[in-house]
Amino acid sequence: MSLPCFAGFGLGLRKPHYADFLDTRVEVDFVEVISENFMVDGGRPSQILRDVRERYPVALHGVSMSIGSADGLDGAYLKRLRALVDEIEPLFVSDHLSWSRIEGFNSHDLLPLPYTIEALDLVCANVARAQDAMGRAMLIENPSTYIDFVRADMSEWQFLDAMAQRTGCGLLLDVNNVFVSASNHGFDAIAYLDGVPHDRVRQIHLAGHSLGTELLIDTHDRPVPASVWDLYAHVMPKLGAVATMIERDDDIPPLGDLLDELAIARRISDIAMRVAA
C-alpha cells in the first residue's frame, strides 16, 4: 500500500473561516477538515465541503476511529468514512494513536494507550483493518497524553516506528503534542523527534497549548509558542516532503492571524531545507 506524498502549507478549515475559503482565494496549499464533521447524510456541511474541495486539496483528519480500542473498530464508522474518502479524494486520511470507544461507550476524547507489545499488536491489527477499509495507507498522529503508564515495553516513538514498519502506515507528527507529552512525562522532545521514523512522516501539525493545574494541556486555543517552533525547526531538515499545517480549534482568530503563523512555518521550512541541502 503506497504512502501518499504532498509538500505544502495549510490550515484547518473551521466554521468562522468558511466564507473566507469559499469567497476568496486563500493562500494555502491545502486545507484539513475534521472528518466526522462531514460524515453526514447531506445538507449544508456536505455542500460546503464539496465547494471547498473544488478550490483546494483537502486532508481528512479524524478523531473518532479509536484505533486503540481493544474490542476493535466500528464497521459502520469505517463505511461512512470510506464514502467520504471516495467522494473527496483527500490528500491524506489520518487519525490518532489513541482510543475513544470501548464496549459501546464512546468518550469522545483521545485517550492514552500503554506502549506495550500487547497494545502494539492490537493497534497494528486495527490500523491494518482501517487501511483495508479505506483502500489506502493512513497517517497516524502522536497524541498529547496526561498519563504515563507504569508498565511500558517501549517509548512512544519506538511504538510509532514499530507500528509504521508493520502496517505501512504513515505518520502525522504533531510537534506541539511532542512538546506537551515531553513536558508532562519528563522525556526529551529532541530524542523523540530524532527517534521517529522520518521517512514515514507525511504531515505536521503545529498548535498551541496551555498550563493546567499540574500538566500542560493540548488546548489548540493560542498561537504556536516559541518552544514548538524550535522543535519544528529541529525536525524539518530530517524530513522529506511534508504537509505542514496550523491547527487551531478554540478562540479562533481572524484568518489573517493564522496565515501570519503559516508564513512563519514557511520561513522556518525554507531555512531548514537550505540547512539540509
Partner 1 sequence: MSVLAMQRNFRLWLDHGDTFAAARIGERAAPGLLVYQNNYRAQLIACLDEAFPHTRDWLGGEGFHEAMVAHIERVPPSSWTLDAYPRDFPATLAMLYPGDPEVAELAWIEQALAEAFVGPDAGVLTPARISAIDWDSAVLHFTPTLDHAPLTTNAPALWAAMDGGEAPPAAEILAEPGAMLVWRHGLVSRFRAVERAELDSLLRARTGTPFPDLCRALVESLGEEQGVARAGQLLGSWIAEGMIVSIEDAQS
CB atoms within 10 A of CB 144: 25
By the 8 A CB rule, do 201 and 241 touch? no
The least distance separating partner 1 from the CB of residue 82, rounded to whole angstroms, comes to 14
Whichever of 30 and 99 has its CB closer to partner 1, that residue is: 99
The least distance separating partner 1 from the CB of residue 204, rounded to whole angstroms, comes to 24
Whichever of 114 and 225 has its CB closer to partner 1, that residue is: 114
The least distance separating partner 1 from the CB of residue 214, rounded to whole angstroms, comes to 5
Whichever of 21 and 99 has its CB closer to partner 1, that residue is: 99
The least distance separating partner 1 from the CB of residue 53, rounded to whole angstroms, comes to 16
**Alpha helices in the chain, H assignment, sequence order:** 18-23, 44-55, 75-88, 117-134, 156-167, 175-185, 189-195, 226-235, 255-276
The least distance separating partner 1 from the CB of residue 236, rounded to whole angstroms, comes to 30
Name residue, grid cell 506537551: 180
Whichever of 122 and 242 has its CB closer to partner 1, that residue is: 122
CA distance 164 to 160: 6
> Residue 243: which of 108, 60, 43 has the closest Cα?
60
Q: How far is CA 256 from CA 205, 250, 263, in A?
A: 18, 16, 10
Which residues form the interface with partner 1 (CB under 8 A)?
Answer: 36, 39-47, 64, 66, 68-71, 74, 76-77, 99, 101-109, 111-114, 116, 118-119, 122, 145-151, 184, 212-215, 217
Strand 8-12 relative to strand 58-61, pairing: unpaired
CA atoms within 13 A on the CB side of 204: 30
In the structure grid, which three cell numbers stand for residue 218, read together?
493540548
The least distance separating partner 1 from the CB of residue 183, rounded to whole angstroms, comes to 13
Whichever of 1 and 211 has its CB closer to partner 1, that residue is: 211
Whichever of 38 and 92 has its CB closer to partner 1, that residue is: 38
